[in-house]
A and B are shown apart, each in its own frame.
Chain A
Amino acid sequence: MKIRLTCPIVLLILLLDLTSIVHAAPPQAQLLRLATTTSTENSGLLRDLLPLFEAGSGYRVHVIAVGTGKALKLGQNGDVDVLLVHAPAAERAFVEAGYGIDHHRIMYNDFVILGPANDPADIRHSDSAADAMQRIARHSIAFVSRGDDSGTHKKERQLWQAAGLSPHGKWYLEAGQGMGKVLQISAELLAYTLTDRGTWLAFRDKLPLQVLFEGDPVLYNPYGVMAVNPQRYPDLNYAGARAFINWLISDQGQARIGGFRLAGKKLFTPVAGNDTVMLKHRPDTPAQ
């Protein structure tokens, strides 16, 4: 009887031993926590960049990929060390409120409007992004919104505003999910949606959607990096955040960003070096 009872326990302990081959948490000092948007993670950019940075600096980066709104919130609460996001207005507000420092613009890509190939709202012939949005609303064709306060959602609201509309009705669907999920929903419903080009390229082969509108300067999508202010949270890894930022704007980091390809296409254009510093704002007593 004793043997029968111990059998599952031994098995459990064995399993636990097996799983200890998984890396334990790295020591706290070496760890850098990066909150970023789903677009940098899903496109594969970070997988390309981070190993190089980690090898050169000795830091290990933990990536928490969420929408820009959530990423900023994580920074505001001091739960991460550094942010890589795309919502210039919100980033500026974040720095001005004293939550972020060492804010740099590092690269951009652009947004595109996707829709079903037959383009029922005829946005192909729009003169501007705002015009495209007006056409979708006028025809009441389904449009899937991120609805999650992400950088893409902020841009979408800006476009509706420029179009002089506040979208509502059965055709306007707020998904409240990440970019990939929203693309899948749009594909199933044959709806229009706004997406960053990176996520689109990653999904292109799997979806019956097409880029129907692109190229309006308003669709420019700049990415910024910044450290969470160590004056607010002295125990954050500010040195690591600085090292990461400095590497991203260095020649090596910028070249790597420019060289990144997805499905054979260049995705991000590096911009550091020319007008890199958006706002300089150093702490009086730099950490370390």
Chain B
Amino acid sequence: MENLIDATHQAIVLLLSGNSELWSIIGISFRVSLSAILIATIPALLTAFALSHWQFPGRRLLITLFSTFLSIPAVVVGLTLYILLSRQGVLGDWKLLFTQTAMVMGQIALCFPILVAMGHTALQSAERSAWETARTLGAGSFRALYLVMREVRFGLLAALLAAFGRIIAEVGSSMMLGGNILNYTRNIPTAIALETSKGEFSQGIALGLVLLIMAFSLNAMLHQLQGRGRPVS
């Protein structure tokens, strides 16, 4: 049995040696998760804005629903889409099971509620007064929307990071929908699951390190921005 220090050491060697399989896995992870978050962000933030801005029947229910979906297990999202996308399923004609597109769909479903729920919380804090001030000063609706979003940009950025953090580290739906195919749908979390099942702990740790370094950089970036945003008193 390898010990943790040995495995970590080998992991760093693997990363630095430019192991192409390892880097392909890392690339796939980012490609899929960034696509998902780029597609989800705008509709999700507009939804959050609608929930914080307008009173309409079912609004409370929707907010509760989105908060509920925060705790949905990734495998359940995976399983639901799997059943829909399988050839036997309703959307079988799309032939999307075991493709990157299916993985992106799963990750959108996972990050959308986070963006809405956290975005809604952030918007609530500023929305009314900022919106009215902007409108009074003669801004059009789109301009006012932009100003409101800008007002709470750190809250929105935190929502973005939390959403990205969930999907980049998520194994259940990627495994079911992607099938863990090498060089195509094998991403960091599914590769970690596979390598540990094979007893290749150093590969697993190498990939875990990449995730940690990435999370650290993103958070450091956010804190940097927040620091700069604070008024000097």
* Chain A interfacial positions (CB closer than 8 Å to B): 1, 4-5, 7-8, 11-12, 15-16, 18-23, 25, 28, 33, 42, 62-65, 77-79, 177-178, 180-181, 183-184, 202-203, 206, 233, 235
Contact = CB atoms under 8 A, between A and B. Distances in A.
Given A22-B31, A180-B199, A8 B221 contact: yes
Contacts of B150: 1, 5
Interface string B182-226: 111000000000001111000000000000000000000100010
Interface stretch (B47-55, B65-73, B94-102): B94-102
Contacts of A63: 181-182
B28 interface: yes
B183 A23 contact: yes
B197 A25 contact: no
B87 A79 contact: yes
Given A12-B34, A65-B180, A4 B198 contact: no
B199 A206 contact: yes
A28 B225 CA distance: 44
Contacts of A79: 86-87, 97-98
Given A64-B98, A180-B197, A20 B31 contact: yes
B228 interface: yes
Contacts of B27: 18-19, 21-22
A33 B153 CA distance: 45
Given A22-B24, A180-B197, A202-B198, A16 B38 contact: yes
Identify whether the interface residues of B are mostly helix, strand, loop, or mixed.
helix
A245 to B, nearest CB: 20
Contacts of B57: none
Contacts of B228: 4
B229 interface: yes
A178 B196 CA distance: 11
A232 B196 CA distance: 37
Contacts of A19: 27-28, 30-31, 34
B5 interface: no
A111 B175 CA distance: 28
B184 A25 contact: yes
B199 A203 contact: yes
Contacts of A42: 198
A28 to B, nearest CB: 8
Interface string B99-121: 11000000000000000000000
Contact of B198 (A8, A11, A16, A180): A180
A25 B99 CA distance: 8
Contacts of A21: 27
Interface string B51-88: 00000000000000000000000000000000000111
Interface string B160-187: 0000000000000000000111111000
